[in-house]
Structure 1
Amino acid sequence: MQWSPDSKRHYFDSRIALRERVDTLAPRAAEDPDLHLAELVRLHRVLTVRSSVYWEHRTHLFADRVRSLFDDGVRLARRLSQHHPADGTPTLAKILIDRSTFHTAAGEFGPALDDFCQALSYLAEAD
């Protein structure tokens, strides 16, 4: 990331606003999933990716800092998949691949393989 300091600061500072938007949208998605759940899943994924990039080289606690974001993202995507399988199942596969990548980065190869295989099975169902 050969970005200017201002660009980096803006990118990473946006995590705070994203977290607030996710927290605000979560109860709305519970009340009206047709209207809000897909957007909640999308915003949560953006938050997860930005947080992962932020913490990747900042601490040996990288995995501890972002693990819950990946797990929460999978839970949200499962809800979307159950609620709206046509759109939710491919989204769930994508988010499982994200978490598989996280597990690989954290040196957790068994869980990485499990998530990846699960993602492939969902992608096969979607075809």
Structure 2
Amino acid sequence: MDTLAPRATEDPEQHLAELVRLHRVLTIRSAVYWDCRTHLFAEQVRSLFDDGVSLARRLFQHDPAEGTRTLARNLIDRSTFHTAAREFRPALDDFRQALSYLEEAN
């Protein structure tokens, strides 16, 4: 990912969608890893979910056609994280926002 991030900045058309996809895979794997190993689960992975939503927002701004569903998916992922961390208000907010993007896409 370290080499892909600068490429995504230089040429988002070519690399941003792949960076978002790869970040999502690593985020979910990290969440599973930390959930099983520590009570610090939320502290260890919160920034990964936030970064994933930020990357998806960049993709949405650059390519709304692909970015809409990607942003909704990442918001749902973060909503699921918030639920697991027992943070229900942010979970609901992210879920509602994801639904609004999915409604736009259809």
Distance 1:80 1:62 in 2: 27
Q: Which runs of 4+ in 1 moved over 4 A?
A: none
1:40 equivalent in alignment to 2:24: no
CA distance in 1, matches of 2:40, 2:19: 26
Give the structure-2-normalised TM-score.
0.99
Q: Tell me how large the CA RMSD over aligned residues is.
A: 0.5
- Asked whether 1:93 is paired with 2:72, we answer yes
Taking structure 1 as the reference length, the TM-score comes to 0.83
Any stretches of 5+ residues in structure 1 without a counterpart? 1-21
Structure whose CA Rg is larger: 1
- Which residue in the other structure is 1:108 paired with? 87
Partner Cα separation in structure 1 for residue 45 and residue 2 of structure 2: 16
Are 1:52 and 2:36 matched, yes or no?
A: no
State the AA in 1 paired with 2:11: D
Q: Which residue pairs with 2:40 in the alignment?
A: 61
Question: Given residue 24 of structure 1, which amino acid in structure 2 is its aligned partner?
Answer: T
Higher relative contact order (CA 8 A, sep 6+): 2
- SS where residue 79 of structure 2 aligns? helix
Task: Report the Cα offset of residue 84 of structure 1.
Answer: 0.3
Query: Matched residues in 1 for 2:5 and 2:66: separation?
Result: 19
Q: Which runs of 5+ in 2 are unaligned?
A: none
Correspondence 1:29 to 2:17? no
**Displacement of 1:23 after TM fit?**
1.7
Tell me the amino acid that sits aligned with residue 62 of structure 1: F
Cα offset for 1:28? 0.5
1:84 to 63, 66, 82: 63
SS of the residue corresponding to residue 97 of structure 2 reads helix
